[in-house]
Amino acid sequence: MTDKTKLQVKTVEELKKQPEEYQTACAKLVISHAINELYGARAYDEPAVALAPNPYAKWLTCRVAMEEYGHHVRFFELGREMGIPEERMLPDKTSKKPLSIMNYPLKTWEEFVAIKLLADLAEILQVEDLLHCSFHPLRNLARMTMPEERFHAQFGIDFGLEMVKTPAGKKKLQEAVNNVYPHMLPFFGAPKSKIDSGRLEVFSGIILSSGTPISRPSSKKRT
């Protein structure tokens, strides 16, 4: 168990026998996801149903909102099993702030599409690490969640591609991307933080290299 590369924690019961530092690290991840999934669903996904321009878009946006609330529920339930007090996982009851990216005030449908396109891509890059983590309940949860996060990023790509078919739509989406993109960078750490510089480079490269964010990383190498 001292060799970190071989450490495998298969159940919540086994977690409780691990060093405190390890338990704290797992709890922090679960708390952060529980808070931010709920906060994001409330701030962006649910309000976007009203902004969606037609029944088809509303239908898919409802699905996205349902899944984001579902992500909160999954992390919240795991947290409860781990013995984390409920109030530490609910934005209304904890003093822990959501990610700063949640402060962007959603105003338009184009902004929502840009948020799905950018924020969910950023989320995918972050959750990929959990697919291989040594705490299996968290790993399993990440594996359940990932296909839905991919659907959300694809949602942004698909609606974005529709928008850029007209010059007016392209202009609106570009403006939305310009507004939203700077708010996404703290996803990878505060300024000068080296924690996620590699991930940030991948993210920025995908978004900026083509001028149009229509590509995302392959999951094959990491799954």
Choose the stretch contacting Fe ion; rule: CB under 5 A; options: 101-109, 132-140, 149-157, 209-217: 149-157
- Counting residues that bind Fe ion (by CB under 5 A) gives 6
Closer to Fe ion by CB, 42 or 152: give it.
152
Half-sphere exposure of 105 (CA within 13 A, CB side): 1
Closer to Fe ion by CB, 37 or 128: give it.
37
Q: Indicate which single residue of 9, 29, 101, 120 sits in contact with Fe ion (rule: CB under 5 A).
A: 120
196 binds Fe ion (CB under 5 A): no
Q: What b/e sequence results for 91-108 when a residue is b if at least 16 CB atoms lie within 10 Å of its CB, and e otherwise? A: beebeeebbebbebeeee
Closer to Fe ion by CB, 9 or 67: give it.
67
Q: Rule CB under 5 A: which of 50-69 touch Fe ion? A: 68
Helix (H, G, I), strand (E, B) or coil at 55: helix
Choose the stretch contacting Fe ion; rule: CB under 5 A; options: 31-39, 177-185, 187-195, 197-205: 31-39
Two tokens, residue 104 = 């962007």
Q: Indicate which single residue of 42, 71, 172, 216 sits in contact with Fe ion (rule: CB under 5 A).
A: 71
How far apart are alpha carbons 55 and 98 in whole angstroms? 31
Two tokens, residue 196 = 């996620």
Choose the stretch contacting Fe ion; rule: CB under 5 A; options: 79-87, 118-126, 167-175, 183-191: 118-126
Q: Rule CB under 5 A: which of 150-189 touch Fe ion? A: 152
CB 154, min distance to Fe ion, A? 11
Q: Indicate which single residue of 149, 172, 188, 216 sits in contact with Fe ion (rule: CB under 5 A).
A: 149
User: What element of type H or E holds 111?
Assistant: helix 109-130
How far apart are alpha carbons 37 and 17 in whole angstroms? 28
Q: What b/e sequence results for 62-84 when a residue is b if at least 16 CB atoms lie within 10 Å of its CB, and e otherwise? A: eebbebbbebbebbbebbeebeb
Residues interacting with Fe ion, by CB under 5 A? 37, 68, 71, 120, 149, 152
